[in-house]
Each structure stands twice: as structure tokens, then as C-alpha cells.
């Protein structure tokens, strides 16, 4: 049972997040405007009204920037529920729109997927031995006999994940799905601006100390840093350069700077030499303390 719990949980997160979060950011709350039709079933804003959950602000902003991804999650969720209905595993569908229906439908999806993937995929001895040979240097000196059960579990999970992906893909490909791209486009907001590689190079030549946040719009700790960096940039205007670089847009620059985790903040002196780096969220207090060490006041 443990082997399949993670896989089922993953699809539930994708599907239910789309259903509950996507609605939260739609400006016409209460409207019956149709965003998609899934085998004749509407996905409207009104449907989302009973599926709202508490989401932290940074996640909300990311969802508004990429609403299509969460609409896709809603479509997958609807398809699974429709398939469960065909199989007679759908006691909660009659209560759609009533309080608590989201958790009930989640239970339906969980029950359906557990039945659908109740049997663990077979893993051959050859597959275990091949995996062991490939990753032998990472086994900390353990023998094949010692590590075989863990390898079998890893391979089994990968196979089950692929089974689930194929199942969802088949549902998606055979379904009649119409998405209102016009309405979907209206939901999207522009992601926050970030600096370019040229901005970075110019800042290092500016003769002023530089702080660069290497992060991503899809990283919640990075998003939590944005208001702090905005304040610091405003307060130290003319004294220091404060930049934000998206590592996915400028991955070669991120590689050159040896970025391994995001966010990573790198501090450069007025000569463009790195003097300090910090991985993970960094409070304004710590940033200002580092500025003080660098003689920035």
C-alpha cells in the first residue's frame, strides 16, 4: 500500500489543486462563464465556488501567472471522476455543489485509483541487477542482496507512475475537451519583472556593491523575497545595485555562478568580486547586516 500512496497522492494534488485554486483567482466570482467542456460537462467559475481553500499569497500569484496548468488539473480531475462514475464508484457526485463535496470527490478519486492500481507492477531480478550496476557507486558499499528490496521498491514506483501517466493520457486523448482560450487568456497576469544577463554584467561594472538574487518565479521562497528586495533596492538606491535573475531564463549564467539551490543571494563588492553568498530565504535583517559588513550604509 505504501508504494502506491505517493503516486495517488501526487495525482490528487495536481487534480484537486487545479479545481480549488484556479477559481480563487478568477475576477468574476459567481459567474457561470464556461472555461472548458469535458465530455459535455462544464467547468465554470460557479463550480469552483465550493472548492476554495486557503492558499498562501505567493502560490496565488504563481497560479494567476499560469492558469492553464491548473485548468488542466481540473480537466484531469473531471476525467477521473467521470471514469469512476462509469465504474460505479461515485457516491459523492450527487452532492456536487454542496458543502464538503470536494473532500468527498477526493475520496472517490483516491478509492478509484487505489482499485485501478491495486497490484504492484512486477519487477524482475534482471531489472534490479541492472539498476544496481548503474548506481553501484552510490550504494555506500552495500551488496546487491542488501539493497535489492529498496531497488525493487524504487523501480516499482517508477513503473506505477508510468502506468498512471498512461492511464490519464488515454483518458485525455479519448475525451471531448473544448477550452475557451479567450476566457483563459483573460485570467493570466504578467509575471513580475526580472533582470537580464546584461543588467548583471553592467551592475558588476558600475563601481557599486551588488546583491543578486538568483531565483525563479515558480519558487515560493523566491517570491517571499520579492517585497524585501524591493524595499532594499529602494532604500539603497544609488548606494548598491539590487538585481533579480531568473535562473531558468538565464541558466548559463546560473551555471557560471555555480547556483545549486534557489534562491541564492550573491553579494559582490564595488570591484565586482564575490564576497558572500547565501542559499535559501534571507531576511531583510540579515541582508542589511551583510551590507554593513561590506561598508554599505
> Is the four-CA dihedral 106, 108, 111, 112 of positive or negative sign?
negative
| 142 assigned to active site | no
Query: Of 194, 209, 217, nearest to 268 (Cα)?
Result: 209
DSSP 42-86: EEEHHHHTT------HHHHHHHHH-HHHHHHHHHHHHHHHHHHHH
Within 8 A by CB and 6+ apart from 10, the residues are 161
Within 8 A by CB and 6+ apart from 167, the residues are 116
Q: How far is CA 228 from the centre of its chain?
A: 22
How many CB atoms neighbour CB 229 within 10 A? Answer: 22
Of the listed 222, 243, 266, 287, which one is catalytic? 222
Within 8 A by CB and 6+ apart from 242, the residues are 210, 211, 213, 229, 232, 233, 236
Of the listed 36, 81, 219, 266, which one is catalytic? 219
**Alpha-carbon span 25 to 98, nearest angstrom:** 21
| 219 assigned to active site | yes
Alpha carbon distances (Å) from 48 to 102, 279, 296: 10, 38, 50
Sheet holding 34-38, edge to edge: 41-44, 34-38, 177-179
Which secondary-structure segment (H or E) carries 13?
helix 2-24
The three-class DSSP label of residue 192 is: coil
253 contacts 197 by C-beta, under 8 angstroms = yes
**Alpha-carbon span 20 to 51, nearest angstrom:** 5
* Positions marked catalytic: 219, 222
Amino acid at each position: 500500500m505504501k508504494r502506491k500512496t505517493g503516486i495517488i497522492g501526487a495525482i490528487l494534488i495536481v487534480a484537486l489543486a487545479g479545481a480549488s485554486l484556479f477559481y480563487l483567482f478568477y475576477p468574476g466570482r459567481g459567474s457561470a462563464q464556461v472555461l472548458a467542456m469535458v465530455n459535455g460537462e462544464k467547468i465554470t467559475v460557479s463550480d469552483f465556488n465550493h472548492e476554495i481553500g486557503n492558499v498562501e499569497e505567493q502560490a496565488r500569484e504563481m497560479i494567476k501567472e499560469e492558469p492553464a496548468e491548473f485548468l488542466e488539473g481540473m480537466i484531469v480531475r473531471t476525467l477521473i471522476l467521470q471514469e469512476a462514475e462509469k465504474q460505479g464508484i461515485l457516491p459523492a457526485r450527487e452532492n456536487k455543489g454542496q458543502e464538503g463535496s470536494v473532500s468527498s470527490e477526493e475520496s472517490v478519486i483516491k478509492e478509484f485509483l487505489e482499485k485501478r492500481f491495486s497490484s504492484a507492477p512486477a519487477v524482475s531480478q534482471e531489472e534490479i541487477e541492472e539498476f544496481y550496476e548503474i548506481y553501484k557507486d552510490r550504494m555506500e558499499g552495500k551488496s546487491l542482496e542488501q539493497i535489492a528490496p529498496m531497488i525493487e521498491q524504487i523501480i516499482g514506483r517508477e513503473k506505477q507512475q508510468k502506468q498512471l501517466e498512461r492511464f490519464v493520457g488515454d483518458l485525455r486523448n479519448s475525451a471531448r475537451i473544448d477550452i475557451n482560450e479567450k476566457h483563459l487568456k483573460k485570467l493570466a497576469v504578467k509575471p513580475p519583472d526580472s533582470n537580464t544577463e546584461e543588467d548583471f554584467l553592467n551592475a558588476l561594472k558600475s563601481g557599486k556593491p551588488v546583491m543578486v538574487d538568483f531565483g525563479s518565479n515558480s519558487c515560493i521562497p523566491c517570491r517571499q523575497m520579492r517585497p524585501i528586495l524591493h524595499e532594499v533596492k529602494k532604500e539603497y538606491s544609488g548606494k548598491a545595485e539590487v538585481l533579480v535573475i531568473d535562473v531558468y531564463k538565464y541558466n548559463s549564467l546560473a551555471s557560471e555562478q555555480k547556483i545549486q539551490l534557489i534562491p541564492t543571494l550573491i553579494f559582490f563588492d564595488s570591484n565586482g568580486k564575490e564576497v558572500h553568498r547565501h542559499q535559501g530565504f534571507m531576511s531583510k535583517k540579515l541582508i542589511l547586516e551583510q551590507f554593513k559588513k561590506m561598508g554599505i550604509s
